[in-house]
Structures are given as C-alpha cells and as structure tokens.
Amino acid sequence: MSVPTRPKAAYFGAGPALLPTSVLQQASIDLITYLSNPVGVGEISHRSKDAINIIDSTKAHLSEILNIPDTHEVFFLQGGGTTGFSSVATNLLASFAAKTGKKGQPAYAITGTWSKKSYEEAARLGLEPQVATNGINSKFTGIAPVDQWKKLDPETTPYIYYCDNETVNGVEFHAPPVEATCDGKIPLVSDMSSNFLSKKIDVSKFGLIFAGAQKNVGIAGITIYIIRKDLIPQVGTEELNKLNIPITPIAFHYPTVVKNNSAYNTIPIFTVHVLNLVLKNLLANGGLAAQEKENVEKAQLLYGVLDKHPQLFNLPVAKDSRSKMNVVFTINGEGKEEEFVKKAGEQELSGLKGHRSVGGIRASIYNAIDLETVGKLTKFIEEFASA
C-alpha cells in the first residue's frame, strides 16, 4: 500500500473543492503517524501540547499571510457559513449591548443567496435586521454602488454584514464596502467563505471576518474567525434577557472560545491541521501576492473567452461585480447547457453544473485550480463555441 498520487484533476466544483495534492499526501501520513509517533493527528487530545502547537501555528500562519494587526484576534469554530452567520448575529448584538446598553438592529447587504440566508437567519432570531441594499429584484446580477445604500445610524446599528463573494450567483465585491460603515463607526462584518485567501485584504478595515475552510483553505468542518478585539466583550445573560437578545449556545460564544484558545469544546484537530498545511503551502509558493496574481490571470482568461462569444454565452453578472472564484454563465440554445456539461465530462472537465437553485453553468476556479487547468477549460470552451 503506498500513498496514492493522482493526475491533476480539472474539477471545477463550488466546494468542498480541490486542495493541493501535496497537502493531502502529508495529511494522509499524519493521520496515521503524527511526528513519527504511533498515534495519528486525529487521535491526540485537543488539550495536548501537539494539538495546541497546531492551533497556535495555524493562527501564526494566518497572521503572517494576511498581516493581521494586533487589534485583531483569530479563532476557530466548527461549522461553516451557516453556523457563521448565526453566531455573528447573536454574538455581535451582545457585544453592541456591552458598549451601548442597547439592542440595535444589524444591517445586511443582500447581494446573493448567502447574504440573503444570513439576513433571514437574523430575522428568524428576532433581530429585526435592516436592509442596507437588496439585489433580489435584479436577480443578484450586480451590486448597487455603496452610495446608493441605505444610510445607517451608528448609534443603532451593531454591524453591517455583507458576503464578499456570493458562491451561487458569482457576485464578488471588488472592494469591501467600507463607505457603508460611517467612517468605521459601524463594524464591517464579512463572510469570505468562498474567496478567503484568494486576494490581499486590509484586515484593519473589518470588525469581523469569517470563512468556512472548505473552498480555498481546507476540508469542511472548521471556520476561521478574525475579530477586532474590542468586539469580544459581551453583556451577561441577565442583560441579554432584558434586551431580548438571543443567548448564543456556549460552544459558539466568542468570549468563551477566545479565552480557551479555540479549544473550549473539542476542536477537530485533524481538520485544523489540514488548514495549517494549506497555509504553509501558500506561504511556500509566494504567499497572497503570488496567489492573487494567478487568480486574476485565471479569471481574465476565462471571462475573456466567454466574452468573445456573446451570441452563445450569457454572463448575467455586471463586469464590476464578477467573481474571480465562481464564474457563472448560461448558454443560449435548447439543450446547449446539457451538451456543454456532457462534452466537458468527456474531456474530464467536471463539476461545471450551476447551483441547483439557479441552473446554468458555474466554473469555480479556487486557489488550487491553476492557470494551466483553466487553460484546458478555455480551450474546450473555444472548441465548443466553434463547433
């Protein structure tokens, strides 16, 4: 039995998504024997020195890659986007209450499926969220300029929430909407689950960033949080009840998690270890600068060939909001999309069907998909267009 190698896959699924093969090979060894011990990394205590080293090393690598300032803290929670947006809502309300004594109404920029779900969860939790902007009438084909968004009041708005990249709709912010924060008075909260570490960001501009690992940085089961430290303290349960703010389940209570270095409850240490290996691999390959450069080239190449055939390919998203991670398009002509997916499959180009809620074609070109693989896809698209 030997650690498998594998041919480079041209798998364009929207996530969970491809990871570097060398990362998985190392993880597969460590799963059985970690640091040459007869115990694997998934079997060690989450309170052991080796586990704490993994947590601390992962935090350090994140800080290095993103140049995270001392004003911010990194922590990890189980879950993904869905646990992320629920926990953001109740934790940041409790933090706002600690600062102001008030409940407030969080604001949401609704620019696609995920921010819509986040808004709906805030409403379900009884938070009476404000709508900063809503792209549903234009079917999430672009983002309204921030100066056209609702003007928010920092006195009553605990945070402004947006999704940096909408995986389903292929809509991405080309710059974070900092203008919506009233000169930084309202914390900016960003769900970066599907474009985390795809480009440089200025962490100091954010109150909170969270990202499920399973697109660009790992396997499913862990979410990265980067929070501005002044947003950590919260009021206690008595005050929460008085203000009618939902109590966060203890495993997702940010002050408890931060105080326990992300190991209040059992942290899935194998999953964190895979994340750490991805981060090391990114650093070894030039860091975020090199990764962003390649991601820009990949997106230019793919959008370029699609734009060359406007009679065949329909790109619904406005150019200034096109995602560099999830390239979404439809194909004109009866049965053409099925034909596209089928013929692509024959060339081992897979994972191209659009999300079941919107249909069409979606090519997800996350960090682990290199320029060469995107080149294979664009070659196929050219052939398809000229057939």
Between 187 and 218, whose beta carbon lies closer to a second copy?
Answer: 218
For residue 267 the two structure tokens come to 């942290």
Which are the contacts of 60, defined by CB distance < 8 A and separation ≥ 6? none
CB atoms within 10 A of CB 338: 11
Told to judge if 149 belongs to the known catalytic residues of this protein, a careful annotator would answer no
Minimum distance of a second copy from residue 313's CB (angstroms) = 24
Minimum distance of a second copy from residue 358's CB (angstroms) = 14
The active-site residue, picked from 103, 149, 191, 298, is 191
Between 27 and 282, whose beta carbon lies closer to a second copy?
Answer: 27
Minimum distance of a second copy from residue 251's CB (angstroms) = 4
Minimum distance of a second copy from residue 6's CB (angstroms) = 4
Between 44 and 146, whose beta carbon lies closer to a second copy?
Answer: 44
Minimum distance of a second copy from residue 244's CB (angstroms) = 9
Minimum distance of a second copy from residue 362's CB (angstroms) = 12
Q: Could you tell me the CA-to-CA distances from 142 to 200, 297, 319, 371 in Å, in that order?
A: 22, 22, 8, 26
* Separation of first and last alpha carbons in the chain: 45
Which are the contacts of 74, defined by CB distance < 8 A and separation ≥ 6? 59, 62, 63, 68, 224, 225, 226
Helix, strand, or coil (residue 65): helix
The active-site residue, picked from 59, 116, 199, 215, is 215
| Nearest residue to 167 (alpha-carbon basis) of 220, 201, 116 | 116
Between 93 and 180, whose beta carbon lies closer to a second copy?
Answer: 93
Q: Which residues of 262-271 are buried (b: 16+ CB within 10 A; e: fewer)?
A: bbbeebbbbb
DSSP string, 73-95: EEEEESS-HHHHHHHHHHHHHHH
CB 254 within 8 A of CB 234: yes
For residue 1 the two structure tokens come to 């039995």
Told to judge if 215 belongs to the known catalytic residues of this protein, a careful annotator would answer yes
| Identity of the residue numbered 262 | S
Provide the 8-state DSSP code for 104: -
Told to judge if 139 belongs to the known catalytic residues of this protein, a careful annotator would answer no
Between 204 and 237, whose beta carbon lies closer to a second copy?
Answer: 237
Between 152 and 328, whose beta carbon lies closer to a second copy?
Answer: 328
Annotated active-site positions, please?
114, 191, 215
